[in-house]
Amino acid sequence: MFTGLVEEKGTVAGLVAQGSGMRGSGMRLVINVGNLIETCQIGDSVAVNGCCLTVIETVEQKLGFDVLPETLRCTNLGKLVVGSHVNIERSLRMGDQLGGHLVTGHIDAVGQLDERRDEDEWSFFWFHCPRRLTLQMASKGSVTIDGISLTLVDVEDDRFSVALIPHTLAVTTMGKLAAGDDVNLETDLLAKYVERQIRGFSVNRSEPSG
């Protein structure tokens, strides 16, 4: 479990294809995480652009991860190149301060930056996404974009907007995003359960009583 508060903007240091098969090749992903390496161990869970991955090696200031073909296909990790920046967060520990919101590290879909409007030091972004995700969103609610916990401003049928402060633009990958770029999206965990309950209630009401 994570909070969506990015701890480090890492840099991809290596990409090595692994294996082959009908479902494609996996990848060894190596990321330079700076001083964060001091508190990371093999077996730890780390969110990389919002994707929960397991540390399988630690070398100097670098973490290594094995990424499955399915993960590469369903997230933006498959588009990384050496030198790409990624958002890094270690998993939440019992007793830690919850400054963002509960984030599982399981990506719901890949969205695209639809529109970016910069006003002085602030920025306003509109993201396009599948409608099934906007059903789990509400203005002033939470959404995770590339592992960053953000507050929703407006929500439409197939897109939503967020406002970004200068700090977020500076210490995460959001500052370099341009229209058309892919982002990993995870909706609020509580919203998923609420929608599930509503759907179940609607189905039960429509079934004939016996």
pLDDT digits (tens, 9 = 90+) for 33-58: 999 999 999 999 999 999 999 999 99
pLDDT at res. 18: 84
Residue 6 in contact with residue 20, Cβ under 8 Å? no
Query: Does 69 lie in the same domain as 124?
Result: no
**What average pLDDT score do residues 11-27 get?**
81
Query: Which residues share a beta bridge with 186?
Result: 144
Indicate the number of domains in the chain. Answer: 2
Residue 101 lies in a domain: no
Alpha carbon of 184 to those of 22, 26, 50, 55: distances in Å? 25, 19, 7, 20
Query: Does 187 lie in the same domain as 122?
Result: yes
Domain termination site, one of 33, 60, 90: 90
pLDDT at res. 93: 79
Residue 94 pLDDT grade (very low, low, confident, very high; cuts 50, 70, 90): confident
Beta-carbon neighbour count of residue 135 at 10 Å?
15
**What average pLDDT score do residues 124-149 get?**
96
pTM: 0.90
CATH for 113: 2.40.30.20
**What average pLDDT score do residues 69-80 get?**
96
Residue 55 lies in a domain: yes
Contacts of 123 (CB under 8 A, 6+ apart): 116, 117, 163, 164, 169, 174
Alpha-carbon span 162 to 128, nearest angstrom: 12
Share of the chain above pLDDT 70, in %: 93
Per-residue pLDDT reduced to its tens digit, 154-165 = 999 999 999 999
Query: Does 145 lie in the same domain as 116?
Result: yes
User: Is a pLDDT exceeding 50 seen at residue 150?
Assistant: yes
Query: Does 192 lie in the same domain as 114?
Result: yes
pLDDT at res. 22: 47
Residue 201 lies in a domain: no
> What is the residue range of 150's domain?
109-196
Residue 84 lies in a domain: yes
- SS3 of 76-144: the string is HHHHCCCCCEEEEEECCCCCCCCCCCCECCCCCEEEEEEEEEEECCEEEEEEECCHHHHCCCCCCCEEE
Residue 179 lies in a domain: yes
User: For 202, phi and psi rounded to 5 degrees?
Assistant: -65, -40
Residue 171 lies in a domain: yes
User: Is a pLDDT exceeding 60 seen at residue 96?
Assistant: yes
User: Is a pLDDT exceeding 90 seen at residue 134?
Assistant: yes
Residue 164 lies in a domain: yes
Domain termination site, one of 90, 119, 146: 90
**What average pLDDT score do residues 1-9 get?**
95
Query: Does 155 lie in the same domain as 127?
Result: yes
